[in-house]
Amino acid sequence: MDPIDDREREFLALTAQLRHHEAAYRAGAAEIPDSEFDEMFERYQELATALGIDAEERLDAKPGADHTDGFETIAHEVPMLSLEKLSPNRRDSKGEAMPLGEQLANWYDRRRKDLELDDDTKLELLVEPKVDGISVSLLYQDGALTRAVTRGDGRSGDVITRQVLAANAVPATLKGMPKTIEIRGELHWPRPAFEAYNERLAAAGESTLVNPRNGCAGLMKRKDPDGLGDAGVTSFLYQVARYEGGELPATQGEVLAWLRKAGAPTYEGEYFLAEDGDAALAYCDGYGERRGNLDYDIDGMVIKVDRLAHWDLLGGTGHHPHWGIAYKFPPERKTTILEGVDVQVGKTGKLTPVAHLVPIFVGGTTVSRASLHNFVELARKDVRVGDTVYVEKAGDIIPQVVAVDLAKRPTDTVPVPRPTRCPTCESAVVEEEIFIYCPNPACPDQIRERLRHFASRKAMDIDGLGEVLVEQVVTALGVRSPDQLFGLKSTDLAGLDRMGKKSADNVIRGLEVAKGRGLSRVLNALAIRQVGETMSEDLAAHFGTIEALLAFAARYVAGDEEAVESVAPEKASERGAIEGMAKKSADIIFAELDSAPVRAILAGLGAAGVELNAKIATVTEVDGVAGKTFVLTGALPTLKRSEAGERIKNAGGKVSGSVSKKTDFVLAGSDAGSKLAKAEKLGVTVIDEDALLAMLE
């Protein structure tokens, strides 16, 4: 085979892998440690260069990589650049590993040279913890928080003002501030609060969150922030990006003290003023032993030139500033033997390889099973049964097999084969990008996983129907599809293990209550690929009834051009009728909805009395609002945007997520951003909250 073909194949596989892991991270459900992602990305860049891929076409060159649909994106006035990193993988010109101390010494000497300091002049460094959280930029005007924005791609980020305020994650006001000041910080989830939240999820029969960082990212991207105040997310503020109408202290250490005096949370007592690079590195190395006593996660340290006047003089590159550098703690890594690889079948039929290991203690727990993610990843690492493998559990993420010690590989090992048939039901598999699926909805493993999901809190929320009972209703009572659950009787359940009459009656009551959840909850409960909470709500709101949705699905699958264009326009610049639906996801969603098994389940649910219409408030049309399209942007004085949207809908209006020539009104609050600018460019009428309330009255 031509070597170029191998490289192209690897490059395409890595591209798909990186896109998947980026999406998982943005959704707050990262599957791999940062170190493993970085390794994959470095290899991707090597292949891209070797294959002559233009910089503009590479994954890291695309703007908005951290954008989440439904959130407004605005540009940072001062870019939020990444810091240069001290890397254990860096090599010198001879190809030999370069110690971290040598790397830091080189950086320190360059900074002294840039500043033209003589030998007698100190260049002090402030060393701060590198909190493992979510970077945020906070704009305060006259001491009040008016905008919070994620780091995004460093040039622009998503507005999460409502989320951070609802979570009480940052101060709503600060004392003694300049008229305008932009402060950078890190949102994080203290471990005690995170563990308490997971305990509540577990008690409710829900899947627990993987780690505080990813959980924090997920909470801050909730479109409805109600209830975030109980989670316990908080922050550390550490840098002033810009200000007007005031004066700052002279050093970074003094800025931290000044912020703390103003009421900002800072890591008091956890930073250190070093007289040179050697002292900074010694502090970093020693801090690694202390971090286990903290109630929040850190993944390294940040070393900054202390005197702020030096920052502008030092400047930076388009990627990172020269005034700071990051030191990352190496993740704990242990070796063990891979005894076997099992294949698990998920609720959507996805086949996932799972490693069985000789038990090893790593990251605070004994690990005997570890994720291998998917078969593309397994082949990329060339993991084989019998291998000595490296296992990491960085940041308490699910244990990962990250590499193989090839020097210890037995001579008789063979690659783990990609399955061609489902290990449970023997159906021929289908492939979609980097994943392999069992297409058989009657697969026993799929049945169990789908029923567990159907009963879960965010789906149909069936009280009392947990994992153990689901297993019993499948094996003992022969339940095979969600609609059959509603045919169960109390006497059926009372005869099962650990189920008395009272418990059985409670489950039956839970099933009866679940019948009224409405169309969006039913769609989310069916475990249709590409349909989560948000998409199910959007589908229900757009179509209203299951009959309308299924009729449209049939048209779409038949290739009806009008139907396809309405939800997945051919022009990438145009938006379809359903927010966030692209052609690829539309193909999957409507094909599943039009399939015989899904139609049969929906028919059974309807026959059982389950509500299959959208739960829509009674509409009382108001002149001037009814039939009009509104776009909401910015923070409103008294109403939440969700409340304003509901009032518009209840008056017969429509709420859209994007501004176009078809928009009738843009309701703009403070920090309205790009949507307001587009409305003004298109000549769309802009109103404020008072004007909306007058229209509604």
CB 651 within 8 A of CB 619: yes
Beta bridge partners of 668: 633
**Which residues, at least 6 apart from 357, have a Cβ–Cβ distance to it below 8 Å?**
336, 337, 338, 339, 367, 368, 369, 370, 389, 391, 401
CB 618 within 8 A of CB 646: no
Longest CA–CA span in the chain (Å) reads 88
CB 463 within 8 A of CB 586: no
CA angle at 252 for the pair 248 and 255, rounded to the nearest 5°: 45
Helix H or strand E segment including 338: strand 333-345
CB 57 within 8 A of CB 73: no
CB 392 within 8 A of CB 378: no
Amino acid at 98: M
**Which residues, at least 6 apart from 139, have a Cβ–Cβ distance to it below 8 Å?**
145, 146, 147, 148, 149, 180, 181, 182, 671
Q: Which of 679, 664, 669, 625 is nearest to 648 (CA)?
A: 625
State the Cα–Cα distance between residues 169 and 173, nearest whole angstrom: 12
Helical residues (DSSP H) of 579-640, grouped into ranges: 583-593, 596-607
> In 3-state terms, what secondary structure has residue 358?
strand
| Alpha-carbon distances of 229 from 166, 352, 410, rounded to whole Å | 6, 36, 54
Beta bridge partners of 362: 365
Say if residue 304 is exposed, middle or buried (CB neighbours under 10 Å; 0-12, 13-18, 19+). buried
CA 45 to chain centre: 23
Task: Give the sign of the dihedral formed by CA 358, CA 359, CA 361, CA 362.
Answer: positive
CB 460 within 8 A of CB 522: yes
**629-633 vs 654-656, strand pairing mode:** parallel
CB 489 within 8 A of CB 516: no
The verdict on whether 130 is a catalytic residue reads yes
Kindly compute the dihedral angle of the four CA atoms of residues 478, 482, 483, 488, in this order, to the nearest 10 degrees: 50
CB 281 within 8 A of CB 103: no
**430-432 vs 665-668, strand pairing mode:** unpaired
Question: Structure tokens of 621?
Answer: 């049309």
CA 416 to chain centre: 30
Kindly compute the dihedral angle of the four CA atoms of residues 541, 543, 549, 555, in this order, to the nearest 10 degrees: -130
Question: Structure tokens of 110?
Answer: 């360059």
Sheet arrangement for strand 654-656: 654-656, 629-633, 665-668, 685-687
DSSP code per residue over 44-71? HHHHHHHTT--GGGSGGGSTTTT--TTS
CB 525 within 8 A of CB 459: yes
State the Cα–Cα distance between residues 576 and 569, nearest whole angstrom: 6
Residue 412 burial (CB count, 10 A): 7
CB 579 within 8 A of CB 70: yes
Among residues 130, 304, 347, 675, which one is catalytic? Answer: 130
User: Which residues does the annotation mark as catalytic?
Assistant: 130
